[in-house]
Amino acid sequence: MTSPIRIIATEDGSQSLYNEALNETYHSTHGALTESQYVFIKQGLDLLVERGETKIDIFEVGFGTGLNALLVQEYAKRNPQLTISFTTLEPFPLSTSLISELTYDQLIAGVSREDFEALHDCAWEEQVNLSPNFSLIKHRIPLKDFASNLGFDLVFFDAFAPSKQPEMWEIALLSKVSALMNTGAVFVTYCARGQLKRDLADLGLRVETLPGPPGKKEMVRGVKTANEKP
Ligand SMILES: C[S@@+](CC[C@H](N)C(=O)[O-])C[C@H]1O[C@@H](n2cnc3c(N)ncnc32)[C@H](O)[C@@H]1O
């Protein structure tokens, strides 16, 4: 059987994946690397670091190619004062042959092929220290099955688009994510749907609509200020 997932080139020269069954890409076709750097690093991680936080627990929905994790690992290397732990979910891991054809490490200064491979090769369900101030734990489960006693400081909500995977954007799962966030925690996503903004506000997040990455007018950031409205 041929895999329904194949590599595509995006406009900034970085790769993404196309899932034929869903007719959906893993990143913006206007630039996968540019989108990840802008949505998750600049509008997410940078905000916490600018606030002076040094111990940062990140929760990602959708590990996929590992691009966001790789960018965070590179960030941690440049910022040795930080201690970052990265928790990610992926119920549909990529095949090793597909991973072997991904070349993000060649586009990101400061990370090696070994760094990229280690993200994918490390065990599931186990926290591993991949560099002195960056640890990773990957869970091979869908968001609906995830439970944790940890509180997270930053959420990368990188699910497929609401038109392709609507259940991921329903209030039941958003509420679950919100419950995992510490007060002051930041939620970022490439999506800017009105219903998402209303739902996040109802869950006690202060919602901002920010300019989007290339090819997208807007994106959403939310900061957890309180518990769910009674
Ligand atoms: C838009 S892609 C982004 C992936 C990744 N962040 C990247 O940069 O490659 C969405 C990812 O969510 C994963 N996914 C699908 N259903 C999921 C679920 N129920 N819970 C968590 N992740 C899911 C997909 O397999 C896919 O890897």
Question: Do the domain assignments include residue 192?
Answer: yes
Q: What is the CATH number of the domain that holds 203?
A: 3.40.50.150
The 10s digit of each residue's pLDDT in 132-176 is: 999 999 999 999 999 999 899 999 999 999 999 999 999 999 999
Question: Do the domain assignments include residue 4?
Answer: no
3-state secondary structure of 138: strand
The 10s digit of each residue's pLDDT in 170-209 is: 999 999 999 999 999 999 999 999 999 999 999 999 999 9
The 10s digit of each residue's pLDDT in 38-48 is: 999 999 999 99
67, containing H or E segment: helix 67-78
Question: Do the domain assignments include residue 5?
Answer: no
71 lines ligand 1 (CB under 6 A): no
Question: Do the domain assignments include residue 215?
Answer: yes
Which pair of structure tokens corresponds to residue 72?
Answer: 């965070």
Find tokens 């994510």 and name the residue: 177
Tell me how many domains the chain contains: 1
Question: Do the domain assignments include residue 136?
Answer: yes
Note whether 68 and 158 are within 8 A (CB). yes
Question: Do the domain assignments include residue 1?
Answer: no
**pLDDT of 2 over the 80 cut:** no
Whose CA is closest to atom 14 on ligand 1? 62
Question: Do the domain assignments include residue 151?
Answer: yes
Domain holding 55, by residue range, is: 33-224
143 lines ligand 1 (CB under 6 A): yes
pLDDT of residue 3: 65
The letter for the amino acid at 132 is P
- The Å distance, Cα 105 to ligand 1 centre, comes to 20
pLDDT of residue 228: 56
Question: Do the domain assignments include residue 16?
Answer: no
Burial 67-86 (b: 16+ CB within 10 A, else e): bbbbbbbbbbbeeeebebbb
